[in-house]
Amino acid sequence: MDIKKVNEKGNTLEIKNLVIHYVSEDEVVKAVNGVDITIASGKTLGLVGETGAGKTTTALSILNLVPDPQGKIISGEVLLEGKNVLTMSDSELEELRGDKVAMIFQDPMTSLNPVLTVGDQIAEGLEIHRKISKGEALKQAKEMLELVGIPAERAGEYPYQFSGGMKQRVVIAIALACSPDLLIADEPTTALDVTIQAQVLILINDLKQKYHMSMLMITHDLGIVAEVCDEVSIVYAGRILEHGTLEDIFDNMRHPYTKGLFGALPDIEVRRTELKPIKGLMPDPTNLPSGCPFHPRCDYAMEVCSKLPPETKWLSDTHCVECHLYKDTNESML
């Protein structure tokens, strides 16, 4: 494993105050509204939130792949090992994509090209970034296949000859082929059934440790977060409402929204209790509520919540929350 170049803080990824809007003729969809993310080298951050909270858009911005004509990056920086991805030229981006940062897409059924063999698809990244011959790339592709638990002989087969779980393994092999520093996993198990989910998660975890990668895990499944992540950010309407280590979030959750998410989980011990869904729906991203975006659904909403956006409050060195409830709290009170 080559020694990773990291900036002075040792962070693989730093996103600072990222704002992304989707602009169409008659409306502006505010997808991401000031997200800050830091992933230390070798660590895994879980990005948790409902559908439409801006998780995927944030992830795409790391590769500078936000859909072009509509998606506008209004402000912010995405620093990968200290270099701003958003100001890179096309050729710099092509070098970066797949080599330094790789992405596992949500749906393995559509993220593989149906007319190319899986071996070719894994080899493609190697050919581009390692500048090696096709034969050599195919050989390494076969090794990658073995690594994700698929026999190398199957490299010559087409995606339709694989089951969903195996396709996702192929997608993982493609992402890991060039041993990236940062792996973005965009709901990697959403399209798979539960038994395969476990296999794929174990695989991702094993490989992450083997290659000492940093990872951004996007999901709405708190079970997955508990399994693979070191830190968790809770995203709501394009803002991070609470951030902390796994313990901070799972054992000392502070934000009413985080509490709501956990309240909506079934309890395996007490099967007869009713689930407590969070009332209401995600706000319309074209017309976000004033103040705190969560206030219309919040049980603890105060007058100030609808007027002023809450500021980030650090409750400890690792745990921060964006909520008016904790404005005057300090560490000793918790």
**Which of positions 62-91 make contact with other proteins (CB under 8 A)?**
63, 65, 69
Q: Which of 58, 78, 80, 105 touches other proteins by CB under 8 A? A: 105
Residue 268 binding other proteins, by CB under 8 A: no
Q: Where are the alpha helices (DSSP H) in 177-240?
A: 194-211, 222-228
Rounded to a whole number of angstroms, the minimum distance from the CB of residue 151 to other proteins is 6
User: Counting contacts by CB under 8 A, is residue 23 touching other proteins?
Assistant: no
- The only residue of 35, 39, 171, 225 in contact with other proteins, by rule CB under 8 A: 171
**φ, ψ dihedrals at 55, nearest 5°:** -65, -50
Q: Backbone phi, then psi, for 165, in 5-degree steps?
A: -65, -40
3-class SS of residue 235:
strand
Helix or strand run (H / E) with residue 232? strand 231-236
Tell which residue, 128, 172, 164, has the closest CA to residue 146.
172
What is the rounded CA–CA span in Å between residue 21 and residue 38? 21
Asked if 160 interacts with other proteins (CB under 8 A), we say yes
Q: Which is nearer to other proteins, 40 or 152 (CB)?
A: 152
Site string for other proteins, 112-151 (x = CB under 8 A): xxxxx-------xx--xx-------------------xxx
Residues 87 and 202: their CA atoms lie apart, in Å, by 36
The pair of three-digit structure tokens given for residue 100, joined into one six-digit string: 């330094």
Q: Indicate the residue among 133 and 161 with the shorter CB distance to other proteins.
A: 161
If the CB atoms of residues 15 and 177 are measured against other proteins, the closer one turns out to be 177
Contacts to other proteins from residues 211-230, by CB under 8 A: none
33 vs 140, which CB is nearer to other proteins? 140
Q: Three-class SS of residue 181?
A: coil
Is 51:75 a contact under the CB 8 Å cutoff? no
Task: Please calculate the CA angle 157-162-167 and round it to the nearest 5 degrees.
Answer: 105
Between CA 105 and CA 84 the distance in angstroms is 23
Name the one range near other proteins by CB under 8 A: 169-177, 278-286, 298-306, 313-321.
Answer: 169-177
Q: Is 31 helix (H, G, I), strand (E, B) or coil?
A: strand
Strand order in the sheet with 312-314: 101-104, 182-186, 214-219, 44-48, 231-236, 239-245, 320-322, 312-314
Contact letters (x/-) for other proteins, 182-211, by CB under 8 A?
A: -----------------x--xx--x-----
State the nearest-atom distance from the C-beta of 115 to other proteins, in Å: 5
Q: Which of 17, 24, 133, 163 binds other proteins (CB under 8 A)?
A: 163
How far apart, in whole angstroms, are the C-alpha atoms of residue 252 and residue 259?
10
Count of residues that bind other proteins according to CB under 8 A = 46
Contact positions vs other proteins (CB under 8 A) = 63, 65, 69, 93-99, 102-103, 105-107, 110-116, 124-125, 128-129, 149-151, 154, 158, 160-163, 165-166, 171, 174-175, 177-178, 199, 202-203, 206
